[in-house]
């Protein structure tokens, strides 16, 4: 069978917002797109077929977690991540840099060796080099692969951030070499630089010279304000390659997404819809709802009466409140599906309004509401 090559095309632009399509041999992805997070080879609390029913076209999984548990050899023995988790959708794997920063007991970053850290699970010492990260992602057989980078927590230390950018660029070159040539898969570079405009532009310029299939913006959603994040996007939006997909990593809230689309971003991922669903927070077109709140005890209305997917409109807020306050697992499952479905509805409405040339009107209506 002749595999389709990875491609990206822009269909329409509305100011900086872009309507596009990513083509992969596993299926096409309409952009702007949201990727549900399947960190450990599962989107928590949901069957993969239900994720597909929400019109999700791609999911994200995580190199760091999967290399620790269950380990790359177990997944490879099943034929790769798609077979292991019974998922026919395209899969993007991130390189593990964020998790090394946020979860592990980090010993140090060595420019030549990579990230040297201890597992958050059993304390085992691990060395994750750019080459090893790419080797693991190849073993997972993911469709979009991310370069190894260093992700810093929010800081105001210019020299520290500058040094980190230099390391990330060096690792990006090594990642590109380790990835080799595979026209049926994609390798994305990751723009770093914290909140410093000149470092962001330097990082981006160096990555463009290496030439990647797409460009991610990393090192955000690490404690900065929304305005600080938007300032970073504003500082680089005129310099991002126009003919490559742009991916804002780990972001975010509905207003984060709407604001980033307005600044030219094409792809998003975030644990927020699933994590919020597990804790009782529901996303709706009228804003967020904490279903545990006592005011919903006698509310017989559904979260969204017009939503017919999974018959979610058959469950009242009263019933959902009961499920959460009695710790019944059905509650988190229903809200997880509601939230992922809402995020995909949001993306469909964004794409529809870009196509119609009315995205600014959509932005003004929903940016502060959601």
Catalytic residues: 94, 269
Alpha-carbon gap, residue 130 to 146, rounded angstroms = 10
Alpha-carbon gap, residue 67 to 84, rounded angstroms = 14
Alpha-carbon gap, residue 282 to 278, rounded angstroms = 9
Neighbours of 258 (CB within 10 A): 24
Bridging pattern class, strands 17-24 and 7-14: antiparallel
Bridging pattern class, strands 267-269 and 33-35: parallel
Alpha-carbon gap, residue 358 to 262, rounded angstroms = 12
| Tokens linked to 36 | 């549900």
Question: Please, are residues 133 and 149 in contact by the beta-carbon 8 Å criterion?
Answer: no
144-146 β-sheet, strand order: 33-35, 267-269, 246-248, 214-217, 186-191, 144-146, 91-94, 59-62
Mapped onto helix, strand or coil, the DSSP state of residue 63 is helix
Alpha-carbon gap, residue 313 to 338, rounded angstroms = 10
Alpha-carbon gap, residue 29 to 214, rounded angstroms = 14
Contacts of 319 (CB under 8 A, 6+ apart): none
| Tokens linked to 85 | 């988790």
Q: Is 49 exposed, middle or buried (0-12, 13-18, 19+ CB in 10 A)?
A: exposed
């Amino acid at each position: 069978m002749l595999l389709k090559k990875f491609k990206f095309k822009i269909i329409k632009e509305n100011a900086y917002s872009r309507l596009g399509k990513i083509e992969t041999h596993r299926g096409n992805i309409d952009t702007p797109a949201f990727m549900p997070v399947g960190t450990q080879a599962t989107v928590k609390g949901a069957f993969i077929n239900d994720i597909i029913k929400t019109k999700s076209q791609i999911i994200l999984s995580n190199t760091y977690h999967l290399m620790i548990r269950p380990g790359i050899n177990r997944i490879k023995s099943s034929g790769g991540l798609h077979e292991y988790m019974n998922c026919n959708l395209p899969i993007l794997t991130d390189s593990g840099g964020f998790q090394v920063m946020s979860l592990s007991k980090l010993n140090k970053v060595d420019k030549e060796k990579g990230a040297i850290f201890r597992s958050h699970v059993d304390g085992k010492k691990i060395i994750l080099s750019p080459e090893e990260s790419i080797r693991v992602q190849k073993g997972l057989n993911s469709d979009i692969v991310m370069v190894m980078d260093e992700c810093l927590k929010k800081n105001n230390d210019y020299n520290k951030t500058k040094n980190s950018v230099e390391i990330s660029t060096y690792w990006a070159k090594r990642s590109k070499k380790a990835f080799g040539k595979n026209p049926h898969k994609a390798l994305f570079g990751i723009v770093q630089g914290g909140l410093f405009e000149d470092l962001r532009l330097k990082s981006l310029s160096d990555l463009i010279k290496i030439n990647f299939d797409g460009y991610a913006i990393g090192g955000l959603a690490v404690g900065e304000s929304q305005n600080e994040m938007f300032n970073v996007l504003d500082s680089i939006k005129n310099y991002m390659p126009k003919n490559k997909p742009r991916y804002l990593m780990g972001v975010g809230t509905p207003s984060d997404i709407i604001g980033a689309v307005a600044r030219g971003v094409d792809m998003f991922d975030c644990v927020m819809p699933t994590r919020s669903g597990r804790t009782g927070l529901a996303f709706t077109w009228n804003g967020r709802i904490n279903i545990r709140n006592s005011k919903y005890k006698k509310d017989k209305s559904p979260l969204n009466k017009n939503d017919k997917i999974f018959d979610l409109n058959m469950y009242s807020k009263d019933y959902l409140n009961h499920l959460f306050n009695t710790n019944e697992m059905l509650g988190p499952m229903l809200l997880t599906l509601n939230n992922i479905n809402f995020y995909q509805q949001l993306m469909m409405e964004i794409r529809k309004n870009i196509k119609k040339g009315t995205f600014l009107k959509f932005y003004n209506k929903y940016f502060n509401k959601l």
